[in-house]
Amino acid sequence: MPGYSNASSVNTSTQSPEARKRFAYEAVRGAVAVTQRDPQDRLRVLGTAARVIAPIFPELAKIYIREGLRVEQALIQRGDQPESSMLNSGLIGCGVAQTLIENITVQQVDAADTTVVAAISTCPAVVASAQKLIEAGLQEKKLAPRATLALMEHAGLKSAWSLNKFEKLFDSLPMDAGHKEQEAPKLAAVYARAAGEVDRSLARKAGLRLLLWLGKLNDGENRAVAANVTTAAMKQALGPKEYEDALAGDVMARRVAQSSRGEEEVSHPMDQPASVLKATGPAKMDRIQELEEMPPARRAREAAASGFTTRRGGDIELGARYFDLAFNSLNAVWSGRENEREAIAVIMEVSGAAAQVDPIDALRRSRELDYPCAQAIGMIGVARVLATLEQNAPSSASR
């Protein structure tokens, strides 16, 4: 792997600031060199790498940003919605964001939902162009629910523009719902956010249309979650009596509502932990059996915390066993991920904890993960620790 051999020669116990900086550089280069067969994974790696390396090697970050933008645009052009956006890196100016929005065609609006949301959040100057794009998409039944909601919130949910687009969004639901399961929770989220702000008659009409559309989808988690969210929002917006009256007049909508479990299903973040670096507890206690009973994300984080504490307490063998468990758990975290951002956070936290005690071993462990994207993210997590140490190191003038 390019750059890895140089990184592995660093004596981590006596690193100079320059050595730490070089280690981070080589680790990030090595991560980006890992082959990603899926362009979505390539985009994830480039975005993560750019954010980590930018503070110490901004020119390298620019290279990754340029490639990432090309990958993102290529995904949109072929009709695949990017699962992340380079615009969220915080490293791209408004001019680039504006150009990216202007290059999206009407037929690509649905695939550009993630990118448009990122552009709006990072550069308000693109709002006018984004509004025109979303309006054109609605005319062609090319929907970008999250971008539409972001623009509604920017304009104010009670504004004339937002009320009009709320109505048009649910009037424009595509007749062919067969391959739109992934969009169902997003559409339900728009409805839930705005139903209480619009006229009750409009909330009723839009809610019924959404339930009817959900009825065309195959049974599954996305449909179930969307139905739960929609029915809960309708009840709150209309009140119990008007809600029942609305369903009484539409047999199909009522059937979908009755199939919901009556409560919103929320995807909970992956076991929010205390910081690994603040982990406390008896360093000699063997928690392996206890940790093995935990869900993968929590197991990975707590095993890494115990590994960090144990290694710092001097027990190298037990610490290595904890890190074995933590990194093995990352394979399950990645393969079973429902929330990409949370999965990336877990991988970077675990690899970062390992890097605090032995960066070279942490790189090795990251490279041995089962999935190329997880490998690269883990390596970038190691680099982040070294880059942070470099940024916090006193300048030569102050030493």
Q: Which residue has the higher pLDDT, 184 or 179?
A: 184
Q: What is the pLDDT of residues 170-183, one digit of tens each?
A: 999 987 766 678 89
Question: Structure tokens of 232?
Answer: 């809960």
Residue 333 banded pLDDT, cuts 50, 70, 90: very high
Cα(238)–Cα(261) distance, integer angstroms? 19
94-to-20, 130, 298, 377, 381 alpha-carbon distances in Å = 33, 13, 38, 27, 28
Of 122, 52, 113, nearest in space to 88 by CA: 122
Q: What's the CA gap between 169 and 142, in Å, rounded?
A: 10
Q: pTM value? A: 0.84
pLDDT band per the 50, 70, 90 thresholds, residue 16: confident
Per-residue pLDDT tens over the stretch 18-51: 888 999 999 999 999 999 999 999 999 999 999 9
Q: Letter for the amino acid at 171?
A: D
Written as six digits, the tokens of 289 are 């059996």
Q: Stretch 184-199: mean pLDDT, rounded?
A: 96
| Helix 340-357 and helix 359-367, axial crossing angle in degrees, nearest 10 | 140
- Is the pLDDT confidence value at 152 over 50? yes
Q: What is the tens place of the pLDDT at every residue in 242-285?
A: 999 999 988 999 999 988 765 444 444 455 444 454 444 454 56
Q: Say yes or no to pLDDT of 346 above 70.
A: yes
Angle of CA points 134, 135, 139, to nearest 5°: 110
- Is 397's pLDDT higher than 50? no
Which pLDDT band, with edges at 50, 70 and 90, does 13 fall under?
very low
* pLDDT for 128 beyond 50: yes
Whether the predicted pLDDT of 55 surpasses 90: yes
205: confidence class by pLDDT, cuts 50, 70, 90:
very high
Taking residues 107-128, report their average pLDDT: 95
Q: Which tens digits make up the pLDDT trace of 209-238?
A: 999 999 998 888 899 999 999 999 999 999
Nearest to 104 by CA among 113, 95, 93: 113
Tokens of 381: 């997590």
Q: How far is CA 216 from CA 141, 179, 219, 253, 375, in A?
A: 16, 10, 9, 11, 39
List for the chain the helix, strand, coil content (%; round to 5).
Answer: 70, 0, 30
Closest CA to 369 of 357, 358, 381: 381
The amino acid that residue 148 corresponds to is T
CA distance linking residue 295 with residue 360, whole number of Å: 28
- Which residues are within 8 A (CB) of 141 and not within 5 positions of it... i.e. 6 or more apart? 172, 173, 174
User: DSSP characters for 149-205?
Assistant: HHHHHHH-TTSHHHHHHHHHHHH---S--TT-GGGHHHHHHHHHHHTTTS-HHHHHH
- Residue 106 has phi, psi (to 5 degrees) of -60, -40
In the predicted model, is pLDDT for residue 148 greater than 80?
yes
Assess contact for 322 and 301: CB atoms under 8 A.
Answer: no
Which distant-in-sequence residues (6+ apart) come within 8 Å of 174 by Cβ?
141, 143, 180
pLDDT score of 341 more than 90:
no
